[in-house]
Amino acid sequence: MSSTSESERRLTTDPSKPHDRLAARFETKLDAVGTLIRTRMESRHAPRIPEVTAHLVGAGGKRLRPMLTLAAADICGYRGVDDEKLAATVEFIHTATLLHDDVVDESSQRRGRATANLLWDNKSSILVGDYLFSRSFQLMVETGSLRVLDILANASATIAEGEVLQLTAARDLATTEEIYLQVVRGKTAALFSAATEVGGVIAGAPEDHTRALFDYGDALGIAFQIADDLLDFQGDAAATGKNIGDDFRERKLTLPIIKAVAKADEEERAFWRRTIEKGDQQDGDLDHAMTLMTQHGALDAARDDAVAWATRATDALKVLPAHDVRDMLSDLADYVVARIN
Amino acid sequence: MSSTSESERRLTTDPSKPHDRLAARFETKLDAVGTLIRTRMESRHAPRIPEVTAHLVGAGGKRLRPMLTLAAADICGYRGVDDEKLAATVEFIHTATLLHDDVVDESSQRRGRATANLLWDNKSSILVGDYLFSRSFQLMVETGSLRVLDILANASATIAEGEVLQLTAARDLATTEEIYLQVVRGKTAALFSAATEVGGVIAGAPEDHTRALFDYGDALGIAFQIADDLLDFQGDAAATGKNIGDDFRERKLTLPIIKAVAKADEEERAFWRRTIEKGDQQDGDLDHAMTLMTQHGALDAARDDAVAWATRATDALKVLPAHDVRDMLSDLADYVVARIN
């Protein structure tokens, strides 16, 4: 599975896109969130901290998660400023996980720029990640809502657990779709769903509305990640900025491969064992992998799954009152899978 | 500065020692804390998590921080069970920082055993550390006290900031005693003071009592770390389990060296630059370093500082009501510096 940030960047090149309409709608609040992020990443004692953070925050992340919080709070009628604090909180958590992910994945590029672990060192990425996480923790405490703290604590645990799970499941052909889903929840959906849910909670929304916001974020995150996995095999390299087959070459067990492995005969299993588990790849292997996934309908089935999750996301929103921002969130879910249709 | 865990181990070989009296006094509660730790480090999805954690938690850490929380709550008359949750919380935070520290320091041994980063890999240490931090966060939310959350959020930020500061200040001769103190607060004292303060807070202690508990933990942590730095130069290798001069060989700018550098002439500065900043060490350099520190009274001055911090710790306790556990904490502060007198 490749990072969601790549996709986020791709989501935002066209002003007619739902993401851009949300950004325009919340421009003032997003500016306030940006100021909060800059202020809170300062460190009087350790200048390395803002250096590293600014490199990443300044690198053009599209602030999808903060926008989800602002949108959820707005739909639920919130009129205060705690939504800005929580939007900064989720962005800090996201940035902290990116810093640690890049060390764990030994990545050298993120959003088209050298990663912090490459520019400084792994130590700085680990410790600045810890610092940002602790800063996010301070920000959420300032909202004074135990419910918000509970939601974000649980999301943090799901994220960390999913990362460890990915570490052990990444190249293991025994990985099931159930495990894949847990990994995706940790990797993407847990922070999406927490971002939307806390927006409803600080607005004092009724229980069925906060539940709907959680369900929307969860389903959106899963649809998002499955679409990203599919684009790796059939995206337009010029549009996606990724080379076809990167995940395959990096031996990542993404959903289309998991589906193909489940239907593999002995000879096919040997192929997947060699290319994914052992990493012994030769010319023509990517083509053969594509053929196997097509033969078993694995790409179509993964696409159907992504569409089903996007539908779950838009369905969840129907519980909420009519609101133009609600419609933008609905369009966003549609857009995530429109990329693969 | 060497890890406090080494010293903790050394603190507990003799039942007449204050640490052992505290352990005996809180035996039942410490068992409950142990159960809580085992239960909460479980992961249904990612068995790597309890494996790594059990390796570290099972390695004989002496649970000094959990004991400080239990002791503080007891002195303030607390009779519930949230002290056990907070004791487990501080131990999880401590364990998470050890996992990350060992990756950052590229350590291979901790408490006489191979480190997790060596037995598994850096990735597991980073991500399991993140998981334990998120679990600690869930535990503290369960106490329902925003004041407790605020204290632990601030402590987490101080810890992370101190670690980054140490990274950049470690071998820089321009490091002042002020910076050293900030590093030590991050490394040791911030979690000590949070551990004692939250004990008072959940007991509903008056403001001057929680302040006294904070001051005690802060001063104890600083005395503890300075003593550890001194033992590196003049400890009894058999008793401390450390070789004399390990910190010097690892080019760590500890308090005695900072004090000697401050009084160095040009020739002496050249010596420190070569041995600490450049790491070009030869036979006889440790002896020469000892001679310089002795000549400038740096070892004696560091010892005086440690004793002064221990005195601040015992003085802080005088605000609290008479209590046999208060006396144990006072004895603990005296004991920390008795090792270097």
What share of chain A has pLDDT > 90, as a percent?
66
**End-to-end Cα distance, chain B:** 19
Alpha-carbon separation of residue B248 from A35, A210, B268 (angstroms):
43, 57, 15
What single-letter DSSP state applies at residue B321?
A: P
* Cα gap A53→A161, rounded to integer Å: 24
A126 vs B126: CB contact, 8 Å cut-off?
A: yes
A122 touches chain B (CB under 8 A): yes
What single-letter DSSP state applies at residue A109?
A: E
- Report whether pLDDT(A111) > 70: no
pLDDT digits (tens, 9 = 90+) for A265-294: 999 999 999 999 999 999 999 999 999 999
pLDDT recorded at residue B120: 72
Q: Mind listing the domains of chain A with CATH numbers?
A: 4-338 (1.10.600.10)
ipTM above 0.95, yes or no: no
For residue B154, the chain A residues in CB contact (below 8 A) are 138
* Cα gap B100→B108, rounded to integer Å: 13
For residue A162, the chain B residues in CB contact (below 8 A) are 45
- Report whether pLDDT(A79) > 50: yes
A157 vs B131: CB contact, 8 Å cut-off?
A: yes
Q: Do the beta carbons of residue A58 and residue A187 sit within 8 Å?
A: no
Angle, helices A146-169/A122-142, rounded to nearest 10 degrees? 150
- Mean pLDDT in residue range A256-264: 96
pLDDT digits (tens, 9 = 90+) for B277-318: 999 999 999 999 999 999 999 999 999 999 999 999 999 999
Nearest CA in chain A to B165: A46
pLDDT digits (tens, 9 = 90+) for B141-179: 999 999 999 999 999 999 998 988 888 877 889 999 999
Tokens 């929304």 found at:
A205
pLDDT digits (tens, 9 = 90+) for A158-194: 999 898 888 887 788 999 999 999 999 999 999 999 9
Mutation for A interface: B102, B151, B164, most A CBs within 10 A: B164
pLDDT in tens, chain B (341 residues): 444 444 454 444 465 789 999 999 999 999 999 999 988 888 777 777 777 777 767 555 678 999 999 999 999 999 999 999 999 999 999 999 988 988 887 777 666 677 777 667 788 889 889 999 999 999 999 999 999 999 999 999 999 989 888 888 778 899 999 999 999 999 899 999 999 999 999 999 999 999 999 999 999 999 999 999 999 898 766 665 667 888 899 898 999 999 999 999 999 999 999 999 999 999 999 999 999 999 999 999 999 999 999 999 999 999 999 999 999 999 999 999 998 87
pLDDT recorded at residue A237: 62
pLDDT recorded at residue B111: 62
Nearest CA in chain A to B99: A126
Q: What rounded mean pLDDT belongs to chain B?
A: 88
Nearest CA in chain A to B136: A153
- Mean pLDDT in residue range A203-230: 97
Looking at CA atoms only, how far is residue A127 from chain B in angstroms? 6
B156 touches chain A (CB under 8 A): yes
Nearest CA in chain A to B52: A164
Q: Which has more confidence, A64 or A14?
A: A64
pLDDT recorded at residue B323: 97
Considering CB atoms only, which of A46, A49, A137 is closest to B156? A137
Alpha-carbon separation of residue B26 from A204, B41, B54, B263 (angstroms):
42, 22, 22, 46
Looking at CA atoms only, how far is residue A152 from chain B in angstroms? 9
Write out residues 175-204 of A within 8 Å (CB-CB) of B.
179, 182
Mutation for A interface: B132, B134, B198, most A CBs within 10 A: B134
User: How remote is the C-alpha of A102 from its chain's centroid?
Assistant: 14
pLDDT recorded at residue B169: 79
Considering CB atoms only, which of A45, A124, A168 is closest to B182? A45
* Cα gap A34→A44, rounded to integer Å: 19
B48 vs A156: CB contact, 8 Å cut-off?
A: no
For residue A138, the chain B residues in CB contact (below 8 A) are 150, 153-154, 157
**Amino acid at site A216:** Y
